[in-house]
Amino acid sequence: MSENRAAPLTAKWLGQLRVERITDETLGVRTFRLRAPDGGPLPFIYTPGQFLNVEFGIGGARMHRSYSISSSPHERDYVELTVKREPRGAVSRHIVDLLKVGDEIAAGGPVGKFTFTGTEADSVVLLSAGVGITPMMSTARYLTEQSWPGDIYFIYSCHTEADFIFQKAIAELEPRNPKLHVVVTISKPGPDWKGPRGRITKELLTEAVPDLASRRVHVCGPVTMMDAAKAMLTELGVTAENLKSEQFGAVKPAPAAPGTTANPKAAATGPLVTFAKNNKSAKIHVDLQTGDSPPKQSILELSEELGIGIDFSCRIGTCGVCKVNMTSGEVDQEVQDALDEDDKSSGIILACQAKPKTEVTVEA
């Protein structure tokens, strides 16, 4: 077994990476090649589809974000993150506008279970839109370099030809892999576009992928695209076991301003949560009515209401930034992707996912 096929050092590495190269992909999307500061091999290994957590000090605050890796794990000297500049994204604007060659950034990981190495199935459909293409590129590059014998159906959607991320890289990859089948559809194409037009549809999927219902499908993109794609795939017979997804864009539950996550006129009636380091306690609200939050608060949402300052990034249970130690109590966690067995046995929970079932004390 090669070094690159070893188990990833999930969520355990923390350190600095130096920007070696910056490549413009499209307007507002850049790829950042990162290396170890000493110029040596990367201090971690990863699996296609994983991401890194990065941290920046912006406006006097520490901010964390998670970005998928777009390079192949075969590249041991560097890792690449492809970042889209979001108009309201403080971190993405900082990265795309201000980061320059030679800068060092704080990073950690790799994390995430949206992975495919070729051992999971004998063919794969990589379905993405917008910047959701990034983990798909890592996977397609890796499988090509492995001379993986299975069929790879690479289906991508974007608004215009100018928004086609990795257009050159995909064009270079196709002739190297006769098993790579690429279909790109443009929703607002120009007159010279020769490929499919419009968004991804059931008709496009069935035409592009023979025997679709029998194949493993990975889906990544903005929330609306994800919801539509998963509904179509289910209608076309793809089972839940064969459908893997990772959300890009806005996350649920959405961050809320302190004091706005619950009806202020209603008393909190849920279990008591004690934040030991801050010497603060409060009951969980179980009657939330506004925003994207479910009816019961998470520990992270309550911490925001009290100004505790638990770090977070993805808010969907995959990045691990919001890990805290629970010293007493019991919680439900819908997603635990960022927790390994050592975390679970040590009482580590994900604040963004943890919904108290009993009185809880956490070290925060």
Predicted confidence at residue 269, as pLDDT, reads 85
- Cα separation, 61 vs 81, in Å, equals 23
User: Tokens 């992270």 map to which residue?
Assistant: 300
pLDDT in tens, 221-237: 998 999 999 999 999 99
Considering only CA atoms, which of 148, 19, 15, 158 is closest in space to residue 95? 19
Q: Over range 267-290, report the average pLDDT.
A: 84
pLDDT in tens, 195-223: 999 999 999 999 999 999 999 999 999 98
- The DSSP code sequence of 121-172 is -SEEEEEEEGGGGHHHHHHHHHHHHTT--SEEEEEEEESSGGG-TTHHHHHH
Instruction: Average the pLDDT over each of 11-20, 118-127, 196-205 and give the range with the smallest value.
Output: 11-20
Element (H, E) at 291: none
Percent of the chain with pLDDT over 90: 73
Strand positions, DSSP E, the chain: 13-26, 29-35, 51-58, 61-68, 79-84, 104-111, 123-129, 151-158, 180-186, 216-221, 243-247, 272-275, 280-283, 323-328, 331-333, 348-350, 354-356, 360-362
Q: φ, ψ for residue 133 (rounded to 5)?
A: -70, -20
Mean pLDDT, the chain, whole residue set: 88
Side-chain-side CA neighbours of 324 within 13 Å: the count stands at 28
Q: Over range 164-172, report the average pLDDT.
A: 97
- Cα separation, 322 vs 348, in Å, equals 10
Paired residues of 354 in beta bridges: 333
Angle among Cα 253, 256, 260 to the nearest 5 degrees reads 120
Q: Which of 56-70, 254-268, 290-304, 305-319 has the highest mean pLDDT?
A: 56-70
Q: Over range 311-340, report the average pLDDT.
A: 88
Q: Does the structure show a pLDDT above 60 at 355?
A: yes
Paired residues of 32 in beta bridges: 22, 81
User: Tokens 């249970």 map to which residue?
Assistant: 317
Cis previous bond, 87, omega within 30: no
Query: How many CB atoms are located within 10 Å of the residue 240 CB?
Result: 9
